[in-house]
Amino acid sequence: MGDDQASISRRTATTAPVVFAVLLLTSVLAIGQDAAPAQKPQDEGFFSSISRWFKDKTSNVSSGMSSSFDSARKNVEGISSVAGDAAKSTVQGAKDAAGAVARIPGARPMSGHEKCQVASNGAPDCVAAANALCKAKGFDSGSSLDMTTAEVCPTRVYASGRSTGDECHMETFVSRAFCQ
């Protein structure tokens, strides 16, 4: 089945530039015919005017033919280069997606309680906490799914009947992580 798809994509990849080249050549020839200089009408016979018309058309086609073919060839070469780059990036994207899908079966959400360190700017840094939570559960790494921030106070604050005080501080911890 994979060989059939590869064969179809190769045929499509080779057919598209050819079709484009034919369309380009046809349009160039049409432009060449329209650009013919107008001549003064002469009083001549029917067969003479048909003969002159054929001569004019063949001279227009033959004069524009070599430049038309050169420009068509360059355009087709440019298209094939772009198509090759697109195919390479598509293959790399498919490999990346397959790698991500292969890692999913071994990954799962885990619950725990791992304190986040405070970064130099004062914000919580929970990347290391998520990794530590996952390593404690037997996984290699993880990313945080749920974080909780709470005010932590010494026991004496609560024993005195207060719910907050100067001795209290905010603490953030990872409560769930997606482990792999």
The residues, ordered by sequence, that sit 6+ positions from 44 with a Cβ below 8 Å of its Cβ are 52
Contact present, 139 and 179 (Cβ < 8 Å): yes
More confident residue, 149 or 102: 149
H-helix or E-strand containing 82?
A: helix 46-103
Number of H helices, E strands in the chain: 4, 5
What does pTM read for this prediction?
Answer: 0.40
pLDDT at 173: 92
pLDDT, averaged across the chain: 76
CA nearest 131: which of 120, 144, 121? 144
Gap between the Cα atoms of 171 and 52, Å rounded: 94
Helix axes 46-103, 2-34, angle to 10 degrees: 150
pLDDT at 115: 93
Q: Return the structure tokens found at 19.
A: 């079709």
pLDDT at 45: 76
% the chain with pLDDT above 70: 64
Which one-letter amino acid corresponds to residue 41? P
More confident residue, 128 or 20: 128
Lowest model confidence (mean pLDDT) among 9-23, 59-73, 130-144? 59-73
Residue 72 burial (CB count, 10 A)? 19
pLDDT at 34: 55
Contact present, 159 and 90 (Cβ < 8 Å): no
pLDDT at 105: 62
pLDDT at 106: 72
Own/partner pairs, 117-123, CB within 8 angstroms, 24+ separation: none
Read off the DSSP letter of residue 123: S
pLDDT at 93: 76
**Average pLDDT rounded to a whole number, residues 128-136:** 92
Q: What tens digit of pLDDT does each residue of 67-121 get? A: 666 676 777 677 767 767 777 777 777 777 766 655 556 788 899 999 999 889 9
Place of tokens 């107008």: 38
Gap between the Cα atoms of 128 and 136, Å rounded: 12
Among positive and negative, which fits the CA dihedral 78, 79, 81, 82? positive
The residues, ordered by sequence, that sit 6+ positions from 75 with a Cβ below 8 Å of its Cβ are 20, 21, 24
